[in-house]
Amino acid sequence: MSAARPAVAIVGAGGLARALSRALARSGGARVTIASRRPAAAADLARGVRGLRAVLRIEEALAGATIVVLAVPDRSIAPLARVLVPLRPSWRGIVVLHAAGAYGPERLASLRARGAATGVLHPLAVLGARGGAALSGAYARIEGQAAARAAARRLCGLVGLTPLRGSGLQSPQGRSSYHAAASLASNDLVALLAAGQALLVRRGVPKGQALRALTVLAGGALKQARDAGLVGALTGPVVRNDAATLLTQLRALAKDDPAAAEAHRALSLRLIDLALAFGRLDKTAARTLRQLLKRGPGRSATV
């Protein structure tokens, strides 16, 4: 790809479009145009951002672009790609990327058939509806034809994303596993925070304070994991081989939130595996804790 600043057209006006377009514009390394089926939303997104231009029609954004990013919901990618086909006289030499982590370039097959180099650039980041989070420092999954991968890596460099390494991320199973890993560490974490918040609120803690307290706690665990690895973040009754406390927790959850009790049980089994692997539990203690978790809090009066 040429060393000149690429002309990037971003189609969409949601959280990803906001985060990516603004980060690219602020980098100074690309000429960025944004368009949407909702022109007012695109104009609002570009307002006040130097180097970011919003246009009324999608074909205007496509006209001079060398890289096109479809920052739209997963279900909209293939239909939008078909709509884009006749909006340029030729797609040869143009890179088209989508940002759906669970899917491959096949969603852009209609554009590839017309000569476009197609691929995937999925930021592994929690952006929110308004795209307020920074991309810099996050990772990304890249896939596609050689030209598309090169373009995706170039965009990553401009906004501070690090491409993930891994040859198994391009198969259907690999993509699904990658996307599931992302959900476990983000969406499922939110569900766990919600369950913990509800437990504290039930006991009289103000809702806002409960969430703040738990996010500080979770942030500490994540920092320890990032700085010292998973072993540095291990704590709690499983790692201490404190079967009595674990059983008390499960009994309380069984009354207050049975679904959370099942989640805690499943996650505690994984913690036993980690603690055993890292030498924090011996085999006898691990076996005893597993038996306790499999029996359940209502089936045994002793520990």
* 227-286 residue pLDDT tens: 999 999 999 999 999 999 999 999 999 999 999 999 999 999 999 999 999 999 999 999
Would you call 39 exposed, middle or buried from its count of C-beta atoms within 10 A (0-12, 13-18, 19+)? middle
| Cβ neighbours of residue 93 closer than 8 Å, sequence gap 6 or more | 66, 115
Q: Over the stretch 155-206, which tens digit does the pLDDT of each residue have?
A: 999 999 999 998 899 999 999 999 999 999 999 999 999 999 999 999 999 9
Q: What integer pLDDT is reported at residue 132 of this predicted model?
A: 54
Q: Give the β-pairing of 52-54 and 7-11.
A: unpaired
CA dihedral 125, 126, 128, 134 (to 10 degrees): -50
Q: Over the stretch 19-32, which tens digit does the pLDDT of each residue have?
A: 999 999 999 999 99
Q: What integer pLDDT is reported at residue 3 of this predicted model?
A: 64
Distance CA 10, CA 221 (A): 36
Q: What integer pLDDT is reported at residue 295 of this predicted model?
A: 80
Q: What integer pLDDT is reported at residue 134 of this predicted model?
A: 78
Tokens 């906004």 locate to: 159
Tokens 């509800």 locate to: 198
Which two three-digit tokens encode residue 212? 């703040």
Average confidence (pLDDT) over 55-82: 96
Average confidence (pLDDT) over 207-221: 97
Q: Which residue has the higher pLDDT, 118 or 166?
A: 118
Q: What integer pLDDT is reported at residue 269 of this predicted model?
A: 96
Helices (H), 123-206: 146-159, 172-185, 187-202
Q: Give the β-pairing of 67-70 and 95-98.
A: parallel
Q: Are 43 and 97 in contact (CB under 8 A)?
A: no
